[in-house]
Amino acid sequence: MSNQRLQLFPLTTRVENAALTIGGCNLTELAEKYGTPLYIYDAATMDAAVQEYHHALQEHYPGASGITYAGKAFLAVAIAQWTQRHGLWVDCTGLGEMRVAEAAGVPREHILIHGVNKSPAVLAAALAQAGTIVVDNLSELRRLVELSSPDFRGLGDLGSLNTPNLWLRFRPGRAVETHAHIQTGQEDSKFGMSAAEIAGAAQVCRQQGLPLSGLHFHLGSKFDDPAPLRQAIEDTLALAKEIPLPADWTLCIGGGWGVAYHEDDLPQPPVEDYIRFAAQAVVETCRRAGMSLPRLHVEPGRSLVARAGVAIYRVGTVKRTAHRRWLLLDGGMADNPRHALYGARYSALPVERPDRPNTGPAWLAGPYCESGDVLIENLPFPDVQEGELVAVPVSGAYHLSMASNYNGATRPAVVWLENGEARLIRARET
């Protein structure tokens, strides 16, 4: 069991002198130095994940292609800088993420702006700072037209405007198989435009001379069956035939490819299967329709960073109730709300002697004042003592980016591990 659990951890994870190490660093020493809860990111695992995408696109898509990192999964200056070492674009939703990208020195042409209700301030900043804006709806497009008109003076100095490329977000009317909270492509979703609205938006772009250069859809997040992508790709390509787009237009198929969170989810869903499927659907549909190939963009978040991240907690109290053994940790739903929100199923290992046999089920819960503050339920686990450290794998995506200050909790420190060295990339909040 333990060995299988190790496959959920970063690629560089080892058991050395009966203790977990990642990226050549001893987790107990890191916890002592930086305190707990502590989040670590393993550079080698992130590099390997992005290489899988580059490789699969090169192998299976004969046209031009690109990758945008969905910053909502976890963005920090060091992460944004990592994206630039790999030639990625960064998807920013909102001013905060844009500021991080700016602080990291991400060049304008690599910044893409998302959002379902972008404020005038976000749109103004996007016009000034982004290479691409994904337009969600017609009201937003009207606001963009106003803001980019030369005589607009409402939001400060936009004098030297270089209008970003615009992509229109299509709502194809189908979603991937996943938790309802993270399905986005269905007909009644709040995201994107219908086919008729896309046609209207394209018309506005033409009339106003706005640089429309792409179509986008995102069917949902954390899926491992790519089948629903086919119809969405076919419908988007049919739409592309009807509207004026430049020859080198971009088709962005969103992100959402899943990862294994628990040993029962293993083996990892291969990125190559996903990219091969999508690339073939695009190539076949274009061939049938007599269209040339668009530039193909993908927009992964979770599958680039989830496995690279590990959360380290200290067990404060071991408590037994009628039917449960509780391991009460020093972190929980404030740094990882995913079990509470989506019923996400995690696994864990003790940091010291992780290969101890499991002795029975455990419930790993946090210190916060509600019964929903549980990270893991009913996980076979060894006997551990109060004061021991526990490592929760697959903690790199949508934990810290959704973390809260519930009960006055402070957000954990984040450490980057590379070549045996640990570097603090975000200080613990005070």
Q: Name the site residues for ligand LLP (rule: CB under 6 A).
A: 70, 72-73, 114, 182, 218, 221-222, 254-257, 299-303, 338, 342, 397-398, 402
Q: Which residue is nearest to ligand LLP (CB)?
A: 301
* CB 115 to ligand LLP: min, Å: 9
What is the torsional sign of CA 60, 65, 70, 73? Answer: positive
Q: Which residue, 101 or 315, is less far from ligand LLP as judged by CB?
A: 101
Q: How far is CA 356 from CA 13, 349, 350, 359, in A?
A: 17, 9, 9, 9
Nearer to ligand LLP, 252 or 413 (CB): 252
Residue 408's nearest CA partner among 424, 427, 430 is: 430
Least distance from ligand LLP to the Cβ atom of residue 168, Å? 13
Bridge partners of 318? 327
Q: In this structure, what token pair is assigned to residue 402?
A: 């959704």
Residue nearer to ligand LLP on the CB measure, 141 or 328: 141
Joined together, the tokens standing for residue 88 give 């990625």
* DSSP strands (E only) in 24-150: 25-26, 38-42, 65-70, 89-93, 111-114, 132-135
Output 222 or 426, the one with its CB closest to ligand LLP. 222
C-beta of 9 vs 217, nearer to ligand LLP: 217
CB of 44 or CB of 182, closer to ligand LLP: 182
Q: Where are the alpha helices (DSSP H) in 248-337?
A: 271-289, 302-305
To ligand LLP, the closest distance from the beta carbon of 303 in angstroms equals 6
Q: Which is nearer to ligand LLP, 34 or 41 (CB)?
A: 41
* 195-208 helix and 228-242 helix, angle to the nearest 10 degrees: 40
How is residue 76 annotated by DSSP? -
CB of 172 to ligand LLP, least distance (A): 13
- Take residue 196 and report the two structure tokens written for it: 């008729």
Tell me how long the chain is: 430
Rounded to whole angstroms, what are the CA distances from 49 to 17, 257, 392? 28, 12, 19
Q: Which letter does DSSP use for residue 72 in this model?
A: G
ω before 267 within 30° of 0 (cis)? Answer: yes
For the bound state, the minimum distance from the C-beta of residue 124 to ligand LLP, rounded and expressed in Å, comes to: 21
Residue tagged active-site, from 25, 92, 205, 369: 369
Find the shortest distance in angstroms from Cβ 93 to ligand LLP: 8
In the complex, what is the shortest distance from the CB of residue 37 to ligand LLP, in angstroms, rounded to a whole number? 17
Helix ranges restricted to H, 111-227: 120-129, 138-148, 195-208
**Which backbone phi and psi does 391 adopt, to 5 degrees?**
-110, 130
Please name the residue that has the structure tokens 């946090």: 366
Annotation says 286 is catalytic: no
Residue for token pair 């702006």? 113
Alpha helices in 245-325 (DSSP H): 271-289, 302-305
Task: Catalogue the active-site residues.
Answer: 369
